Structure 1
């Protein structure tokens, strides 16, 4: 199974998602999107394939979201893509793709729909248990 994770190693949710993918027996392609950001067409495609509006892929916390006025609902997707292109940190994480689909994996358990079943219960960094399927 081919899996890609758009990953930020400083993010606990992203680290837990990556660990769950690996626990399922899959070694994903890791895209460190802050240093190697996807281009605007790739971002547009991720939003389309995930079935959510591009705006829902934006991260507000710890980003220049408010300073850039991105809370304005009249902004077009092109304007949002311009902002993400200049500030990749605006792209929420982790985004995971597999043959089963594309998801913004917040919470990290959303990845379970995209990977093989976990062979055993998984313990997240904070001690929370994720039951195997």
Structure 2
């Protein structure tokens, strides 16, 4: 398992704590300190069901794009997420398979 998180994010810290409380100690990656490559982002998107599921549409960073999610191509979304990691929903948890859990709620539910 690999937890993609940002230590400054309280939601990420809470999800991590839930995992730890359940005895789950995934590898961890701060994707702000160690940015994702295009291939890594594509791999995460494939495991999550598409790049659109990874985009934090409620974030100020997304609103600054000034376009609805539906109007952006996958290539545009990739470029935006790679340039601005705050566009990525967090945290993300790659399970032992190819599945990627997106967001704290999905991680909490899987940990129970």
Structure 2: runs of 5 or more not aligned: none
- Give the number of equivalent residue pairs: 110
* Cα pair 1:17 1:111 within 8 Å, conserved: no
Residue aligning to 1:84: 81
Does the residue aligned with 2:108 lie in a helix, a strand or coil? Answer: helix
Gaps of at least 5 residues in structure 1 are 113-132
Taking structure 2 as the reference length, what is the TM-score of the superposition?
0.83
As a proportion of its length, which structure holds more helix?
A: 2
Give the distance between the partners of 1:61 and 1:105, measured in 2 at CA. 13
Aligned residue among 62, 66, 70 for 2:63: 66
Post-superposition Cα deviations, 1:69-112, rounded to whole Å, max 9, x if no partner, equal 34251321110000011101111101001215321033141342
| 2:31 corresponds to 1:37 | no
> What's the counterpart of residue 20 of structure 1?
18
Highest Rg: 1 or 2?
1
Q: CA RMSD in A?
A: 1.9
Counterpart in the other structure of 1:11 = 9
Aligned to 2:101: 103
Structure 2 Cα separation of the partners of residues 72 and 26 of structure 1: 34
- TM-score normalized by structure 1? 0.71
Q: CA 1:99–1:10 in 2, change beyond 3 Å: closer, same or farther?
A: same
Is residue 93–residue 101 contact of structure 2 (8 Å, CA) maintained in 1? yes
Does structure 2 retain, via aligned residues, the 8 Å contact 1:103–1:110? no
